[in-house]
Structure 1
Amino acid sequence: MANTVAIAELIFIPAPGMGHIMSTVEIAKLLVSRDQRLAITVLVMKPHAANSGSAITEYIESLAKNTMDRVSFIQLPRYVAPSIPDPKVSFFDEFGKCHCRYVRNVVADMTSQQGSRRITGFVIDMFCTGMIDVANEFNVPTYQFFTSTAAFLGFKFYIQTLCDDLNEDVVKLSNSDTEVSVPSFVKPLPTKFFWIFVKTRERLDFVLRSIRKLRGVKSIMVNTFLELETHAMESLSADVNIPPVYPVGPILNLEGGPTMGKPLYHDIIMWLDSQPRSSAVADPGVFWGFDEAQVKEIARGLEQSGYRFVWSLRRPPSDQTSGVMTDYEDPSEVLPEGFLERTRGIGKVIGWAPQVALLGHVAVGGFVSHCGWNSLLESLWFGVPTAAWPLYAEQPMNAFEMVVELGLAIESGIRRVMEDDEIRTKVKEMSGKSRLAVAENGSSYASVGCLIQDFVRSNS
């Protein structure tokens, strides 16, 4: 009778955002491909607003259509906010507590019918530290998959140190005009670039509770690689009060989302196929969209640059809670008069944009990015220089690190991103390093191997 392999089951819990879920799925696929003794169940939270989850739902459904050996998905019930919220309780706390109940029920059911599988750990998102308590109830360790930079991870730990150990008024500091020496950054970080979550008391309280819990996890996986964030990784490793940190990236979805089959995709690629090498700048758009005045300014800048371009122009959300953008039926209604006629042949204004396909195309020589970490990792992977245009969340900190510390992006300007040969050379070099990091014997490959051994040992 053949011996059955004991399967170590991991519970992955990403935050309900496309970037978080997509990178979580990619590392799940990587882990099970590296070792047949691992299986992963991804517990998918639905976004708060019912209509904001369409892209996520579409993405998860697309995954379900493909057979994924030892990776499965369970969608949790949607959180319904109270009609009269408690002013003393933050939305993040309420959202987390509600989902703790859902996760507890799902894991209890899984535990009662495991067979040869045994749950050996939770892998949680940066916004899901409340799940550590649930993992403790089941007597299994917790790991975190951090979907941003190692420098930003260090920043979060430092903020907690300022509050708890140095009694610093972080809200006042964050809203001042000064610079702070943060250990995970090489240069002093201007407070104007601080994460928006530490600029108000309610959100800071949530961050502090999360970081205090995070210090108790078994280890932290960061979607970065050692050759990119050498200083940040060294600063994290030197702090004995921080759990072991493993750089495992870049973790990327290079196949694109479920919209790759859209007819528009083929039209864009055909247009790029007819353009000279590295001649076009790509602006794949932004989550929030722009108002009409901003759109007109961007249009003037693109036109005056004289460069070919692909511009993803989308209508802003109709309300602040949905976050859902739509394509314009007629983009000329918000563009300067005659813009489309004047730029016909050298520019393409589109709706939804296949970002990975754009960055991977030889005709694209520059990228206007709002500095979400997944987008920056993609641009480095394909060796495309970035013009940084941060807008919200930790994007300003990402931009500071890329522009000021690493010299891998420029602050702004289409002409410079297309013409700066020094930046282009550095980005091409980092592109090669990013690919070597995840190849066999690379730095991130080795980190993943160490983590797998830890997961498997927990099952023995």
Structure 2
Amino acid sequence: MGAHVMMLSSLGHGHLIPFMQLAKKLVARGLTISFVTTFHHIPSLRSKAEAAREAGLDIHLLEMEIPHDHLTLGKVNSNSVQWHKLPPLLDADERLEPHFDRFLGRFLAREISPLPAPLCLIADFLLGWASAVAKKYGVPRVSFETSGCFAESVHQIVWEILPRNLPRTASGLYLVPGLPREVRLTRLQLLPELPEATPENGTHQYWLRVRPANRQSWRTIVNTFYELEGEFVDHYESVNGTLRTIGPLLPPEAFEYRDVQCKKIAPAVELGISTDGDKCMQWLDAQAEECVLYISFGSENSISTAQVEELALGLEASGVKFVWVLRTPSDAAQNSLTSPLDFLPVGLHGRMAAKDQGFFVLGWAPQLGILAHPATGGFISHCGWNAVLESTAMGVPLIAWPLYAEQHFNSKLVVDEIGVAVEAPQRIEQDWLVTRDDVKRIVRTLMIKEKGKELRKRMKELKAAAKTAVGEGGSSYKNFDLFVSEIMALPKA
């Protein structure tokens, strides 16, 4: 058994993927990992942890006991979330504190596991309180930023200052001060209620608690690579303290040739099981190179009934082939007897099958495997950070369609800063709807027009940079080496 490191993720499902990849990388360097979670994620993580142990990886899944009625995660559905209140997920993350405090005390007393005391605790950056709890028990805390430095830099300033206090241009754009270069935000690139947020806003108060607490960490690691957003890495470090960029945190297969490795990638990272996954990959096998558009809005988001209809009809009109991870709309009643297919325009599912234009995945999709497939040439994404890094590693350009939070700032990064995406024209006056005509236009722009070829070329350049960063001697490789050596130098309890 190697030196022990404990890990604690946010309750957000999307954070589990980089945490599990980090765990595997640390184990590969000879460390033993305990992954602490709650009943919310035990089902999706148990099979992965067991598979890892069968493969000789020293990863232990430990459950933190919480009454099942104590935490309500809620679900982020659309831009209509009432952001003047603290979102349910962040509220649940804060409510973890007393439970983890009790768990860590019992763990160190050897009441839970025979594992030795951890050299350090790697805790999600959303769990600011972890710094104080870890210090209480004499365990160094590492803050793990699962988002990128551009988005977090903008997010930090905007949420601390609040948009009402930001300088404005003559045309009404919001200027974000204190960044390496001028960043202008449109009203669309802010959360719906953020411009009106007051100092009493729940999320504003949350970040005033969390960020100073994170600065008390022993170390900070970030799931990004320096060549992607270097000047914002430098900025974020100057404000928040020394950090190590160690990403993209993806399986090694992700950086190999797409046509050889795509079928090996999916089981390496997916946390769910999809009965459509194998059929989807078989359908892609029959398609021409870079002709298919992949559509997914992430693991914790869905779009409205009206938006499903506009997107579906726009895709049909575009004539472009697609794979769509389809979920029940955000404004529809959750009914186990209702299929997401029921919310498509009448007859569309049948027409797509008859024309071999579209494939619908219900439930979990083998996302990285789909992106790795040579038939995939574009990605409609909500711009969660995992999705941005995965599309970068696969060299697949984006249609940026953010739904909430830092996704809007990630969208700003990929569209305006690094130029690997086109933006879905959401319309504020139409409740953030993207019309079928706009869908047709942007899809054809990405998949058929010259603009799409330019974005694809630029994204493939970033793909090469990402592969270099994680390869031996690369920036992330050396930072990870340094991080591991720093852990191993910590005194054992």
**TM-score, with structure 1 as normaliser:** 0.84
- Relative to structure 1, is the Cα distance of residues 218 and 157 closer, same or farther in structure 2, using a 3 angstrom cutoff? farther
In structure 1, how many angstroms separate the alpha carbons of the residues matched to 2:306 and 2:343?
A: 8
Task: Return the offset for 1:411.
Answer: 1.2
The aligned counterpart of 1:49 is none
The aligned counterpart of 1:246 is 244
Matched, 1:42 2:35: yes
Match of 2:393 among 374, 377, 381: 381
Task: Return the offset for 1:191.
Answer: 5.8
- Relative to structure 1, is the Cα distance of residues 272 and 175 closer, same or farther in structure 2, using a 3 angstrom cutoff? farther
Unaligned stretches of 5+ in structure 2? 73-84, 252-264, 425-441
Asked whether the equivalents of residues 197 and 204 of structure 1 are also in contact (C-alpha less than 8 Å), the reply is no
The aligned counterpart of 1:334 is 343
**One-letter code of the match for 2:312?**
A
**One-letter code of the match for 2:358?**
G
In structure 2, how many angstroms separate the alpha carbons of the residues matched to 1:442 and 1:212?
A: 31
Match of 1:300 among 313, 333, 340: 313
Superposed counterparts of 1:233-382, under 5 Å: 233-237=233-237, 239=238, 241-252=239-250, 254=265, 255-260=268-273, 262-286=274-298, 287-316=300-329, 329=339, 331=341, 333-343=342-352, 344=354, 345-352=356-363, 353-382=365-394
Match of 2:66 among 51, 63, 78: 78
Matched, 1:454 2:446: no
**One-letter code of the match for 1:180?**
L
**One-letter code of the match for 1:354?**
P
In structure 2, how many angstroms separate the alpha carbons of the residues matched to 1:197 and 1:459?
A: 47
Unaligned stretches of 5+ in structure 1? 47-52, 84-88
**One-letter code of the match for 2:413?**
E
Matched, 1:27 2:25: no
In structure 1, how many angstroms separate the alpha carbons of the residues matched to 2:361 and 2:9?
A: 30
The aligned counterpart of 2:460 is 428
RMSD after superposition:
3.0
In structure 1, how many angstroms separate the alpha carbons of the residues matched to 2:415 and 2:71?
A: 43
**One-letter code of the match for 1:426?**
R
Task: Return the offset for 1:72.
Answer: 1.2
In structure 2, how many angstroms separate the alpha carbons of the residues matched to 1:448 and 1:283?
A: 32
Asked whether the equivalents of residues 17 and 269 of structure 2 are also in contact (C-alpha less than 8 Å), the reply is no
In structure 2, how many angstroms separate the alpha carbons of the residues matched to 1:115 and 1:330?
A: 46
Matched, 1:190 2:185: yes
Deviations 1:61-110 (A, max 9, x none): 21232143332121222354499xxxxx9667864564222222222233
The aligned counterpart of 1:142 is 141
In structure 1, how many angstroms separate the alpha carbons of the residues matched to 2:192 and 2:37?
A: 25
Equivalent pairs, count: 426
In structure 1, how many angstroms separate the alpha carbons of the residues matched to 2:90 and 2:13?
A: 21
Asked whether the equivalents of residues 146 and 223 of structure 1 are also in contact (C-alpha less than 8 Å), the reply is yes
**One-letter code of the match for 2:21?**
E
The aligned counterpart of 2:473 is 441
**More moved, 390-399 vs 10-19:** 10-19
Matched, 1:172 2:142: no
**One-letter code of the match for 1:340?**
H
Task: Return the offset for 1:307.
Answer: 1.0
**One-letter code of the match for 1:39?**
T
**One-letter code of the match for 2:136?**
E
In structure 2, how many angstroms separate the alpha carbons of the residues matched to 1:102 and 1:271?
A: 46
**One-letter code of the match for 1:434?**
A
Fraction of identical pairs, as percent: 26
In structure 1, how many angstroms separate the alpha carbons of the residues matched to 2:152 and 2:58?
A: 30
Secondary structure of the residue aligned to 2:122 is strand
Task: Return the offset for 1:43.
Answer: 1.3
Asked whether the equivalents of residues 145 and 221 of structure 1 are also in contact (C-alpha less than 8 Å), the reply is yes
- Relative to structure 1, is the Cα distance of residues 301 and 27 closer, same or farther in structure 2, using a 3 angstrom cutoff? same
**More moved, 151-160 vs 442-451:** 151-160
Asked whether the equivalents of residues 310 and 348 of structure 1 are also in contact (C-alpha less than 8 Å), the reply is yes
- Relative to structure 1, is the Cα distance of residues 98 and 235 closer, same or farther in structure 2, using a 3 angstrom cutoff? closer
Task: Return the offset for 1:179.
Answer: 1.8
